[in-house]
Amino acid sequence: TIFGIVIKMFPNINNMKIYLICGKTDLRKGIDGLAALVTEAFSLDAYDNAIFLFCGTRSDRFK
């Protein structure tokens, strides 16, 4: 199941914060651009024990 895959990827998920970034985000920025967005726009540490989900132009796509 997808839940089993998530647990394998993030074994300490119970101790993690999950942020959902709503609105249209240019997903072409790549990982470095999205990490910079987290730092600059939200004043958060992109390398903290957290998961950041960005919504693209289409509401059915996340990165």
For the stretch 11-58, pLDDT in tens is 677 788 888 888 888 888 888 999 999 999 889 998 888 888 888 777
* Statement: the pTM of the whole predicted model exceeds 0.75: no
pLDDT on residue 33: 92
pLDDT in tens, 4-24: 666 667 767 778 888 888 888
Q: Which tokens belong to 6?
A: 């998530």
In Å, how far from its chain's centre is CA 32?
A: 12
Q: What secondary structure letter does DSSP report for 2?
A: H
